[in-house]
Structures are given as structure tokens and as C-alpha cells.
Amino acid sequence: MTLFEKIIARKIPADIVYEDDRTIAFRDVNPQAPTHVLVVPKQVIPRLDTAGEGDVAVLGHCMLVAGKVATQLGLGSYRVVINNGEDAGQTVFHLHLHILGGRKLGWPPG
Ligand code: 5GP
């Protein structure tokens, strides 16, 4: 099981802010902004570059959920990030979108 599957299965506790049949969203344990939430598809896709045509619907759904959750949490401006691969900072190989907001965000990111 991936770490995030354990959260989905309630084997590891998390501060869950949204859940539906295809996704779960919970607060990051090591927040990089005042609001830092992860949107995770329940179906395991290890990385963005391992996604295929059959994943289009769930990927699109994750994007819609990210927008919905950000609004639900009162964010107007925010960033949605996918880290793909170790050099990009990916540490959990179960695809997820980071929602970062609640402070001014620099660009380009580090
Ligand atoms: P990545 O580095 O793969 O893009 O993002 C993984 C994220 O998962 C990191 O921001 C990290 O802080 C978060 N994370 C790692 N372990 C846990 C955990 O047990 N609970 C929660 N809520 N977040 C976690």
C-alpha cells in the first residue's frame, strides 16, 4: 500500500477536508504555506508520466476537486502543483496535487 492508500483506508490519521468516490483531500503534514492540502486520486497512479488515456477522467476530476476544495477553504489565489520525479521533489509515488495558498507565492518556484 502507498502511504496515501493507508490514509484512504484510515490506517494512518489525516486531517481530511474533502472526500468523494474517486478522490480524497487532506492537509499536508509538513505545510509549505498556511493552507497546504493534497488532492489524491483513490486509484493509484504512481507519477504523472505513468498516467495514460484511461486516467483522463480521474485526472480532470482531481483538477475540479482542487478548485472546489480551494474555494471551500476560502482561498482566492493559490497554486496547484504536481511534483513528477525525485528531482522535482516527489517523495510519495502516488500521484497527488498540492494546493498551496494563504500567503504570497514566489515565481519561479525553487
Ligand atoms: P511530494 O513530495 O511527493 O510531492 O508530496 C508528498 C507530500 O506528502 C509532502 O508534502 C509531505 O509533507 C506529505 N506527507 C508525507 N507523509 C505524510 C503523512 O503521513 N500525512 C500527510 N498528511 N502528509 C504527508
CATH number of the domain at 78, please.
3.30.428.10
106 within a domain of the structure (yes/no): no
Q: What is the pTM of this model?
A: 0.98
Sign of the CA dihedral with 97 first, then 100, 101, and 107 last: negative
**Structural domain of residue 48, as residue ranges?**
3-100
Is pLDDT at 83 greater than 90 in this prediction? yes
105 within a domain of the structure (yes/no): no
Is pLDDT at 57 greater than 90 in this prediction? yes
Mean pLDDT of 4-12: 98
Mean pLDDT of 8-26: 98
Is pLDDT at 110 greater than 90 in this prediction? no
CB atoms within 10 A of CB 78: 22
Indicate the average pLDDT of the chain: 98
Ligand 1 within 6 A of CB of 3: yes
Distance 23 CA to ligand 1 centre (A): 16
**Of the candidates 76, 83, 73, 87, the residue with the CA atom closest to the CA atom of residue 36:** 73
* Structural domains of the chain, count: 1
pLDDT above 70 coverage of the chain, percent:
100
Burial of 46 from C-beta contacts in 10 A (0-12 / 13-18 / 19+): middle
